[in-house]
Structure 1
Amino acid sequence: LGQNVEITETVDEIYAWVIPYLYSIVFTMTMQMYLQAQMKNAIIGVLSVIALVLDIAVTWWCVSVMGGIHGALLGLNVSSWSMVIAEFVYVFGGWCPHTWSGFSTAAFVDLIPMLKLSVTSGLMLCLEYWYTSILVLMSGYAKDANIAISAFAICQYIYTWELNICLGFFGAAWYATM
């Protein structure tokens, strides 16, 4: 597509490491929505803190051993999938006795409306990721693409921190009203 060769080579190195992370988001978002609907927000907070500590430790170790972006992405994958596994263990391990009684045919009641909601939610998430990908693709056409993509990455990090701060205040306010 006429992109800068350095950038496309870097993308070739990292895209295979990002795919497992994206699949972990599917599971963790679903499990977190389930746990939030069951008023199990404290366990999400505890598991998130554990995942953060694990992420810092594993990423530090992976970067110091493997070096570079590969170590950072391996640390990200390990911590994100550990969160998924911990949530699955919590839900399927019997700690939700009033909300999870095992698989039954009741899961297939009103399947069509749930499928419609799932497809539209999935499409919304795809549009969000495609929007970001298109912005990265377009910034690759700038005169100095490295600076443009680096500036975009900084903006994304600031946006993510800002969003997480707002979500943290929202969660704290919600928890205080209980």
Structure 2
Amino acid sequence: MSSSSIRRVAALAATLLVTAQIIMLQIPGGGSEAQAAASELAPFQRVWSRTDEPIAAGKVARTWMWGPAAVSDLSYEPYVESPGGQRIVQYFDKSRMEITQPGAPDDGLWYVTNGLLVVELVSGRRQIGDAASELRTPANVNVAGDPDDTSGPTYASFGSLLDAQPAASGSFLTRRLT
């Protein structure tokens, strides 16, 4: 996947909402391998508090980075470079938080990282290492709205746009997702 494709998917991610049911249905094993210890929750809570608690408290008016609350418990998922081949993850409405190297110094900023969840849902490639992935089926579920609404775009419907040439600056956009 080219870097421009990744940037396009990342831009789309800012507008996409993901429900816990969709995440758990579309990522087999997502969060089910084993539950992480409650003591590992503090770094995730700190990141959420720094970015999204001001929204929840009504102190700022902007979009959520993660969402109003976690939609899963902490869990372990396969990741080649993590100790024991497992990293700690937690899913939110808009993204996934990860601790890939729990033995690294907790610098308060980069210890918890943001996953490529939307990239995985669009491409069907689940990241299981820095350079390793599993090929799965792109998620044929709605990006937003009711799960039974067949009129909206699915994550899979964005796959055809990953390598599309960008529209010329100033041109009218007339293409529709089907």
Whether TM exceeds 0.5 here: the answer is no
Larger radius of gyration: 1
Whose relative contact order is higher, 1 or 2, with alpha carbons under 8 Å and at least 6 apart? Answer: 1
User: TM bucket by the smaller chain?
Assistant: under 0.3
